[in-house]
Amino acid sequence: MFGGMQMAWKWPGSAKTGGSEEWTGFIDQGVSLEGTLTLTGTFRIDGHVKGNIISEQTVILGENAKVDEKRFRDS
């Protein structure tokens, strides 16, 4: 449980454009990733990412997130 709701890999949300935006996942605290992270949908990072992040939607960085070589770009 997280904030009173069960965590899931995908759940619907609302995008700023009025369309549907889907959560595709997260990197939790204690998890490290090195390389290129390519995402579709909304993604949350609470762990450590070293490398490039390529996203079509929203990337949320939690307060404990650590991102090295911050290269964000739209795909």
Distance CA 42, CA 13 (A): 9
Residue 40 vs residues 3, 4, 20, 30: alpha-carbon distances, Å:
24, 26, 12, 23
Q: For residue 8, what pLDDT is reported?
A: 39
pTM for the predicted model, two decimal places: 0.65
Q: For residue 57, what pLDDT is reported?
A: 85
Report the 10 Å Cβ neighbour count for 69: 10
pLDDT tens-place string over residues 2-26: 444 334 334 444 444 444 567 889 9
pLDDT tens-place string over residues 25-75: 999 999 999 999 998 889 999 999 999 889 888 899 999 999 987 666 665
Q: For residue 4, what pLDDT is reported?
A: 40
